[in-house]
Structure 1
């Protein structure tokens, strides 16, 4: 699972406005990023994450690998979420890493999101996750 990735090209338009999900809150909350965080906390399923990925093609194999891998490595899901870093570059690229921890805080997952302004909101264009913070930080451009 260390190298499990889901790269999303063309993700989403229209997630509902979301409140802050992780602490501390980034300086500027991105509603579509917050919606992804909530899905990870609630339990990633095709049904829960699928609407956020409606503008991209995700194969059945990719869905199966992602949901099965998360369920096997993190069977109890996640109870803690922390915003690690948010980076903004002109004219509109936004990148963010957040961490998720199990209830016993024995395991962590680091999720990288990238998006840019499209149709009046930041649309998620890339999503990947790994168990290594170093690998997550290497995603930042």
Structure 2
């Protein structure tokens, strides 16, 4: 799949039915694991190790997702289930970043991506009412609405 977090193949197919793995990957669950490890770590060196790995992974995904030539056709970047799950991961990541010595500019970058997720979730065009993905979207939007003080998002969900 990759030799480092900087060289991830975000379109990797690890089986004949790669959807579960792609969903897991684009939800950025590995960032959640690294962020939780950072938050649990007592030593600064350990915190730095985990948060730097999470940052490399996030930067790699963001580059992939924002480069149409790389991401074209990948339905997991902006899919209902993926965005809802990734929103929670990014919130955990932001908390871990706040607990680490990360430049303010980086915090702002992650926060802007989170806010973009909120706008995406708020857009009725992206809403999926016919299955539990819509519930996942509502839940993520409620959390974002509460945490950011955005009553429009909260009320919409």
Tell me the TM-score normalised to structure 1 length: 0.26
Tell me the TM-score normalised to structure 2 length: 0.24
More helix by share: 2
Asked which structure has the greater CA Rg, the reply is 2
**Greater relative contact order structure (CA < 8 Å, 6+ sep):** 1
More strand by share: 1
